[in-house]
């Protein structure tokens, strides 16, 4: 199978590995640095979350953001919960819940402040029915089968010299790539919104607050850039193989 031994594929794999390793190293370095620096309000991530819900543009009906539209759910209160692990923080739109890892929920650090603000940025995206969120979520059902089906069709197409099968596999792989690419503006927008929420609530009081939050969020976003770049390069490689077959 040519894509396993083609030097071009090895180059693409190496680029992907280097990008992933570099961005992960930057993320962990930023996390280690700013997790040891207290934010100026000396608030844990859980406290920051509650404060932003009550003292930013998310504050509606007594600090209870109202939902609807993008997630199709009835209005409800945003909940804050703890989960295990490190950097496992995320927003679950189905439960209207921001889940915070223990280092974020229980530590009064700049990292905790920045991460919670980012996740609340996602809350605001869903609350406003962001078009980016709607487009990305439209692709989620297809992601359950498209990667496996794509690789299977591409490999089978080359084995049986069936070019049409290869192109069909590339089409399914393109869904995964599109999702990865759409994730970039979603994540950058959530970080932008998070910084704005911190600004609105008066939480960026010092240079460290501002610099640390921005660096942490930028480092986190870079991991999505690396993933999207690798996916696009793989897609272009498969297209070049199909054209040569």
**Cα-based angle 121, 122, 127 (whole degrees, multiple of 5):** 95
Catalytic residue (one of 77, 119, 200, 207) = 119
- For 62, counting Cβ atoms within 10 Å of its Cβ (0-12 exposed, 13-18 middle, 19+ buried), the class is exposed
Other CB atoms within a 10 A radius of the CB of residue 207 amount to 9
| pLDDT tens track for 35-86 | 999 999 999 999 999 999 999 999 863 345 443 333 334 345 899 999 999 8
Structure tokens at 40: 């100026």
Handedness of CA 175, 136, 87, 225 (dihedral sign): positive
State the pLDDT at residue 60: 65
State the pLDDT at residue 59: 82
Tell me how many domains the chain contains: 1
| pLDDT tens track for 94-104 | 899 999 999 99
Alpha carbon 196 to chain centroid, angstroms: 18
Higher pLDDT, 109 or 160: 109
How far is residue 10's CA from residue 19's CA, in Å, rounded to a whole number?
14
Closest C-alpha among 115, 232, 119, 80 to residue 170 = 232
What DSSP line would sit under 77-144, residue for residue?
Answer: --EEEEESSSS--EEETTTTEEEEEHHHHS--BHHHHHHHHHHHHHHHHHHHT-HHHHHHHHHHHHHT
- Annotated active-site residue 127? The verdict is no
Closest C-alpha among 84, 91, 162 to residue 125 = 91
DSSP 204: -
Which structural domain range is residue 159 located in? 2-244
State the pLDDT at residue 130: 87
- Please give the mean pLDDT across all residues of the chain: 89
- Classify each residue of 129-148 as buried b or exposed e, where b means 16 or more C-beta atoms within 10 Å of its C-beta: ebebbeebbebeeeeeebee
State the pLDDT at residue 144: 82
How far is residue 65's CA from residue 72's CA, in Å, rounded to a whole number?
15
Beta strands 97-101 and 79-83 are parallel
DSSP 145: T
Q: Give me the mean pLDDT over the 15-24 stretch.
A: 96
How far is residue 138's CA from residue 175's CA, in Å, rounded to a whole number?
11
pLDDT at 183 over 90: yes
pLDDT at 216 over 60: yes
Question: Among 2-11, 107-116, 220-229, 236-245, which is the least confidently predicted range?
Answer: 2-11
């Amino acid at each position: 199978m040519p894509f396993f031994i083609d030097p071009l594929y090895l180059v693409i794999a190496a680029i992907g590995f280097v990008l992933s390793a570099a961005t992960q190293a930057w993320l962990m370095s930023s996390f280690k640095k700013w997790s040891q620096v207290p934010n100026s309000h000396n608030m844990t991530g859980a406290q920051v979350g509650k404060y932003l819900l009550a003292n930013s543009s998310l504050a509606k009906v007594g600090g209870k953001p109202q939902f609807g539209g993008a997630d199709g759910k009835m209005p409800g209160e945003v909940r804050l919960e703890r989960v295990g692990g490190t950097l496992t923080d995320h927003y679950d739109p189905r439960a209207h819940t921001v889940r915070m890892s223990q280092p974020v929920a229980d530590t009064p650090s700049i990292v905790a402040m920045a991460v919670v603000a980012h996740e609340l940025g996602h809350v605001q995206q869903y609350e406003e029915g962001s078009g980016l969120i709607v487009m990305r979520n439209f692709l989620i059902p297809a992601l359950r089968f498209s990667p496996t089906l794509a690789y299977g069709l591409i490999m089978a197409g080359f084995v049986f010299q069936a070019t049409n099968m290869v192109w069909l596999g590339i089409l399914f792989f393109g869904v995964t790539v599109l999702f990865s690419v759409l994730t970039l503006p979603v994540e950058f927008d959530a970080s932008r919104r998070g910084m704005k929420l911190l600004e609105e609530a008066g939480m960026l009081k010092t240079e460290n607050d501002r610099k640390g939050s921005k660096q942490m969020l930028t480092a986190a976003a870079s991991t999505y850039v690396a993933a999207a770049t690798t996916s696009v390069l793989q897609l272009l490689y498969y297209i070049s193989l199909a054209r040569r077959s």
